[in-house]
Structure 1
Amino acid sequence: MLPASLLLASIILSLSVAALVAYFRAREARLHRDSVRQRTELDDTIKALGAARDAATEAQQKAESASRAKSMFLANMSHELRTPLNAIIGYSEMLQEDAADMTPGEIAADLKKITGAGKHLLGLINDVLDFSKIEAGRMDLNLETVDVATLMRDVEATVAPVVKKQGNQFVVHSEEDVGTMTADPGKVRQVLLNLLSNAGKFTTNGTVTLRAVRTERHGEDFLALSVEDTGVGLSREQFGRLFQAFAQADATTQRDHGGTGLGLALCRRFTLMMGGDIEVESKAGSGSTFTVMLPAKGPAPDSIESAAGDEVDDSEPISFQTRMFQIPLATGKSLHG
């Protein structure tokens, strides 16, 4: 037998070795866990940096696109504002110089031209001011009970000459029991006039139809006010920026037809404010249908706020339904805008 002292020493040595083994194993496990955690944190950091880089790139691209759009808008607006303003100044100077030699009929004709140019200028300025108010959340709604059939007759009487200007037939159809809705009649009227004016502008020797029907969406009562034309229709590229503020289809749209590029953006913002949205159906070369969907009972309390500022995603403009069919990839010449 081993002496007691050697036995004790052997036991102590065994325990020490076991303790050291346990210590190094624990240390190795801790180092492994730390390594895995650090690797995971590094992976998460890399992913976060990648996401941040992608977000920054996307934000930069959007900012550059917005800057280009607004620069083009300002260039277009400077031209659009100068044209009627120069007409007003020119006809006024002519009247001042020649009034004594002009007949009352000639004076009345020039005054009519001055009035027309002034109204056009006012319309351009109103578009900019209206959009600015919506962006700032300061646009108010004047909600009333609106008789839809009466509204349709009023719109028809106002816009018929514009729609028929290029040899178009103007058809108006309203269901007998279309009834009433709660909305801002001025803004509904403005939306329809804008859509009908666009339809007449981009249609030649065709047909423009204004239709009102009562329908149901998500279990609720809605009014569908549609403007259908047999004009040029939309391409895929044009559709993507249809409701973007300060943007039109392409440079030719502004050159050929004028405008601020805010018309459809305002239409959609007004419709959102009243609790609805706009649907679009288009076939390139065969026309388009813009349908304004409005809740019959009126807008929800937060509708005005949801239509302001950055709350509206114009890159995916149609919240209810968008029906596009047989639309080629090639960009067409014109666009509703």
Structure 2
Amino acid sequence: MAGSIVSRESAPHPATVLVVDDIAANRNLLRESLEPQGYEVLLAPNGETALKVALRATPDVILLDVNMPELDGYEVCRRLKQDERTRAIPVLFISANEGTQSIVDGFHAGAVDYVSKPFKAEEVLTRLETHLSVSRLTHALARKNEELLTANRQLEAEIARRKEAEEAALRANQAKSAFLASMSHELRTPLTAIMGFSELLMAQADAEGRKEESEDATRIRDSATHLLGLINELLDLSKIEAGKMTLYLETFDLGKVIHEVTRLVQPLVAKNGNRLEVACPPDIGLLRADMTKVRQTLFNLLSNACKFTERGMIRLEVRRDAGSPSLQLSTLTFAVTDTGIGMTPEQLSRLFEAYAQAETSTTKRYGGTGLGLAISRKFCQMMGGDLTVTSEPGKGSTFTVTLPATADKAALA
């Protein structure tokens, strides 16, 4: 017998080996070879005892003699493999039968290896360690597979939960959009009537020289107009969020639209003592886009500039930038610059977020919902362009709209 050749110091834990042999000398010889290597050795003199010990102690590996009276090694191995509690224990046969059929029968019974007698301690130890390593790896793989299955089940549950949450959010959003659409209709009708009657009262009061009543009627009309604007903004945003906002593309004279917008904004310019400068080439030409949304975006930007600027300058610059000659595309740029209060980096980071400005001190001081900029940017993006901003506190801001000159191709892609 050879001396110690395999160190067990690095093993994860002492392995338990069940030695089954009807000859006591063989059992003792194997125990004397294994115990110095750190193995815990259990002994069984026959097959029946081996089955009981295997169930009670669940060894890590079994060294099983083939030729035993009453219950031979093949039958013991078959019974071990039929029982779920012992099925995974590796079995190594030890036998004096070296014939091929004997080895084949051993593997058919469920053994993982076969050692011939007379055995050498070095061979037994090496094969034992090899199959213990394989067994450990197999168990580790099984644990990993179970962990992966558990993680996969958790992931599937999380996906299902998120899908359910998304569907619930979609239903809530649809309900909100339907509610806003219904409420906007219910509110628009009386507001339109209020605006109409207030204008009649203004006309009558002016005709009869009743100045105070005319001013009251003007305030009523202006308040109703403001409220109608807020309702329209909420409805526009709900349509955008629900994906129901439609583009109505048409080719129109851009210069005429610029003239209309600057005329409409003049009262707001004068209100805070500002000056409006417009730089637009007379031959700016045509634009194919949603004219209403272009007009609304420009009006929002100019009215914002008027609101946050006092006795300053507001400038609207319009230019057509040449694009790639091969694509024959060009870009229209609208830049609205003011000398107003400007914005901090923190304000800029949330500027285009819907509802983000509702509680800010600036909004409370100057009025409005802050939805106009979010809506304007969405409009620009729907038409294949964008709305960006640069600003510095105390020095003013510049809002820049870029649109493809042929917005129909970009918007419908």
For the aligned pair, the TM-score class normalised by the smaller chain equals 0.5 to 0.7
Distance in 1, matches of 2:401 and 2:347, equals 19
CA contact (8 A) 1:234 1:284 kept: yes
Deviation at 1:251, TM superposition (A): 2.8
1:295 corresponds in structure 2 to 404
| Closer/same/farther in 2, CA of residues 34 and 123 from structure 1, 3 Å limit | same
Q: CA–CA distance in 2 between the matches of 1:29 and 1:140?
A: 65
- The offset of 1:189, in angstroms, is 0.6
Distance 1:30-1:110 versus aligned 2 partners, 3 A rule: same
CA contact (8 A) 2:279 2:318 kept: yes
Q: 1:125 corresponds to which residue?
A: 231
Q: Match for 2:276 among 170, 175, 185? A: 170
User: Secondary structure in 2 aligned to 1:13?
Assistant: coil
Identity %: 41
1:38-187 equivalence runs, <5 A: 103-106=208-211, 107-187=213-293
1:25 and 2:130 matched:
yes
Structure 1 unaligned segments of length 5 or more: list them.
1-6, 64-80, 305-337
Deviations 1:199-233 (A, max 9, x none): 01111111000111112568742111111111111
Aligned partner letter, 1:272: Q
* Distance in 2 of aligned mates of 1:150 and 1:41: 71
Q: Deviations over 1:168-201 (max 9, x none)?
A: 1100011344222211111111011111011011
d(CA) in 2 for partners of 1:292, 1:207: 19
Residue pair 2:309, 2:339 contacting (<8 A) in 1 also:
yes
Map residues 260-271 of structure 1 onto 2, 5 A cutoff.
260-271=369-380
CA distance in 2 between partners of 1:30 and 1:217 (Å)? 69
Asked which structure has the greater CA Rg, the reply is: 2
Q: Superposed, which structure 2 residues align to 1:202-213 within 5 Å?
A: 202-213=308-319
Residue matched to 2:366: 257
Matched, 1:221 2:343: no
Post-superposition offset of 1:112: 2.8
Q: What is the Cα deviation at residue 114 of structure 1?
A: 2.3
TM superposition score normalised by structure 1: 0.65
Aligned to 1:197: 303
* Deviation (angstroms), 1:247: 1.8
Post-superposition Cα deviations, 1:309-333, rounded to whole Å, max 9, x if no partner, equal xxxxxxxxxxxxxxxxxxxxxxxxx
Query: Secondary structure of 2:407's partner?
Result: coil
Taking structure 1 as reference, are residues 180 and 303 closer, same or farther at Cα in structure 2, changes over 3 Å only?
same
Q: Which runs of 5+ in 2 are unaligned?
A: 1-95, 99-114, 170-186
Alpha-carbon distance in structure 2 between the residues aligned to 1:238 and 1:180: 35
Secondary structure in 1 aligned to 2:320?
strand
Equivalent residues of 1:169, 1:205 under 8 A apart? yes
Cross-structure match for 1:312: none
C-alpha separation in 2, matches of 1:21 and 1:302:
73
- Asked whether the equivalents of residues 216 and 222 of structure 1 are also in contact (C-alpha less than 8 Å), the reply is yes
Deviates more, 1:249-258 or 1:122-131: 249-258
Which whole-Å CA distance do the structure 2 matches of 1:293 and 1:34 have between them?
Answer: 63
Summarize the Cα distance change of 1:290–1:16 in structure 2 as closer, same or farther, 3 Å threshold.
same
Distance, in Å, in 1 between the alignment partners of 2:128 and 2:409 is: 67
Q: Distance in 1 between matches of 2:269 and 2:308?
A: 10
Q: Would you say the 8 A contact 1:268–1:278 is kept in 2?
A: yes
Q: Distance in 2 between the 1:216 and 1:241 partners?
A: 32
Aligned to 1:311: none
**C-alpha distance in 1 between matches for 2:97 and 2:245:** 92
Match of 1:242 among 331, 341, 351: 351
1:13 alignment partner in structure 2: 118
In structure 1, the residue matched to 2:43 is none
CA drift of 1:113 comes to 2.7
Alignment partners' CA distance in 2, 1:120 and 1:30 = 78
Contact 1:242 1:249 in 2 (8 A): no
Counterpart of 2:386 in structure 1 is 277
- TM-score, normalised via structure 2 length: 0.54
Aligned to 1:22, the other structure's residue is in SS state helix
* 1:33-71 deviation per Cα after TM superposition (whole angstroms, max 9, x unaligned): 6547857996996xx99xx9xxx9xx9xxx9xxxxxxxx
Letter in 2 for 1:207: M
Which is bigger in relative contact order (C-alpha 8 A, separation at least 6)? 1
RMSD: 4.0
Number of residue pairs matched by the alignment: 260
* Alpha-carbon distance in structure 1 between the residues aligned to 2:323 and 2:119: 81
Could you say what secondary structure the match of 1:14 adopts?
A: coil
Q: Deviations over 1:118-161 (max 9, x none)?
A: 21111111111111111111111111112221111111111122
Amino acid in structure 1 at the alignment position of 2:321: T
